[in-house]
Structure 1
Amino acid sequence: MVGVRQVLCLCIFIGFVCLFGGCRGDGSKKVTIATAANMRTAMQALVEAYEEKSGVACQVILGSSGKLTAQILEGAPFDVFVAANMSYPEEVYRSGKALGRPKEYAYGKLVLWTMEEQVPVSIGALSQDRVRHIAMANPKTAPYGVAAKEVLQHYGLYETLSNKLVYGESVAQTDQFITTRSAQIGFTALSSVFSGAMKDKGHWMTIDTTLYSNIGQGVVLVKHKEGSRSEAQDFYDFLFTFKAKQILKEFGYLINE
């Protein structure tokens, strides 16, 4: 008998589906990749490179790391989980839903970003009257939201500015708040300002990495009842190749050479 929780999980799962891959090859092979929202544009480039190399189609499921983790724990049929930090894939591993321990594939950086010409890009500007809304990802589900919260706490501003904060459920939604100017300024991933359509848009500054916890982003192979799939392992291995590392660097990620 299907419970309410399982039905809700399925609905959330369907809501977050985003297909970047096409039907390449003979269509009999496919890798389903659960991907943190901050990786959306970089993942599109990675998938294109992988599909060209392998002929294997990829289906990308986009969402916050926290929500994707919840879906995996409920049995969502993902093959690979590409998260925005290490804690969520570690949770998947501890729950017995992973084939092995997660591994760091990249390191993210936090930026402050605005589309408003009149708004200075600085921590000091956050307290100005002209800044009515400050966007950030939800710290409960998104690692970049945790980082933004830590920065504000460092400056003693998290409580002071609480009435201005607007939370996106993921980096993708946070970026939408910023780019549509629903928020005058916001914290997001460096990869966002390097993404195709947004490149060279607005003004941004990187945040001192000593002010927030390391955003070491992890990947893990998801365990299935029917066993592991070679295509999933192949994509996992591809993330650590020279080609993939070059793509990640182009989108603002730090990489261990």
Structure 2
Amino acid sequence: MTRLPRLLLPLAATLLACAGHAAEVQVAVAANFTAPIKEIAAGFETATGHKVIAAFGPTGGFYTQIRNGAPFEVFLSADDSTPARLESEGETLPGSRFTYAIGKLVLWSAEPGYVDEGGQVLKDNTFKHLSIANPKTAPYGLAATQVLERLGLSQTVAPKLVEGSNITQAYQFVATGNAELGFVALSQVSKDGKLTSGSAWQVPDELYQPIRQDAVILAKGKDNPAAQALVDYLKGEQAAAVIKAYGYEL
């Protein structure tokens, strides 16, 4: 039988111990947070040995799935009201809810120079289609309707609205040219403070209610050490650096 060198025995024992304690955590992630959580998950898995199994979609849709028994153990919402509602309904681990990011809304076009820095293109109303996420299930879609209402444009642009089921689909409508512009999450079109493509107007905060994004450990994850470990990691410096890089506030 092959024997390990004596110096490698402690290392092997450590690796076996880590493997024995490694677990998977099922996470429901709001669509706007897709790119950040992928980076965060990679760092988390390296640091802890646990594995993140993530599903992405609209916050409202996840609420329905969780209430119907979906196997999610951690929920990263695009608002604070949905986790609070689940908390009041006994679907979460008490005391685990916290705000992990504050989202920012932008008016974006895949075409460089199409959207001006003041958002005048919206008032000029020369476009044919304006993409937004479904305001009934997606907090960023709700924020978009608040902007239009406060600018007095709700009635004017209503015939031109193209609705995505979530913020990812709203983004895709613009990226593929099916809409000239649309309201999307800043995290989808920028990194490290720079626009990754096209042109955009970052909507002033006073035009929509703050998009406070809460995370919570769900009831199904209360006994999973990987669920608590992920939440702890989200509160740490490494995750914070990634979240800020995508334009969120903490």
Normalised-by-shorter TM-score class? 0.7 to 0.9
Q: 2:158 aligns with which of 156, 162, 173?
A: 162
Instruction: Percent identity, please.
Output: 34
User: Within 1, Cα distance between the matches of 2:78 and 2:125?
Assistant: 32
Tell me which residue corresponds to 2:23.
29
1:1-257 paired onto structure 2 within 5 Å:
29-101=23-95, 102-117=97-112, 119-121=114-116, 122-128=118-124, 130-194=126-190, 200-224=196-220, 227-255=222-250
**Change over 3 Å in CA distance of 1:195–1:78 after alignment to 2:** farther
Task: Tell me the distance in 2 between the aligned counterparts of 1:236 and 1:70.
Answer: 22
- Measure, in 2, the Cα distance between the counterparts of 1:159 and 1:90: 32
- The one-letter amino acid of 1:135's match is S
CA drift at 1:230:
1.2
CA root-mean-square deviation: 2.1
Partner of 1:7: none
Contact 2:133–2:140 at 8 Å: present in 1 too?
yes
**8 A contact 1:127–1:161 mirrored in 2:** no
In the alignment, residue 234 of structure 1 is paired with which amino acid?
Answer: A
Letter in 1 for 2:134: N
Distance 2:22 2:187 in 1: 33
Equivalent position amino acid for 1:188 in 2? V
In 1, Cα distance between equivalents of 2:62 and 2:169: 15
Superimposed CA distance per residue, residues 144-193 of structure 1 (whole angstroms, 9 cap, x where no aligned partner): 11111000000111122111011111111111011111110011111011
SS of the aligned residue for 1:84 comes to coil
CA distance in 1, matches of 2:129, 2:122: 9
In structure 2, list runs of 5 or more residues that go unmatched: 1-17
CA contact (8 A) 1:171 1:189 kept: yes
| Aligned pairs, number | 230
TM-score, structure 1 normalization: 0.84
When residues 27 and 186 of structure 1 are mapped into structure 2, their CA distance, relative to the original with a 3 A threshold, is: farther
Cα distance in 2, alignment partners of residues 71 and 207 from structure 1: 31
- Whole-angstrom distance in 1 between the partners of 2:21 and 2:170: 35
Shift of 1:28: 6.1
Q: 1:53 to 1:66 in 2, by over 3 A?
A: same
Q: Which has the larger radius of gyration?
A: 2
Rounded to whole Å, the distance in 1 between the matches of 2:98 and 2:222 is 20
Structure with the largest fraction of helix: 2
After TM superposition, the score normalised by the length of structure 2 is 0.86
Q: 1: distance between equivalents of 2:158 and 2:78?
A: 24
SS, match of residue 154 in structure 2: coil
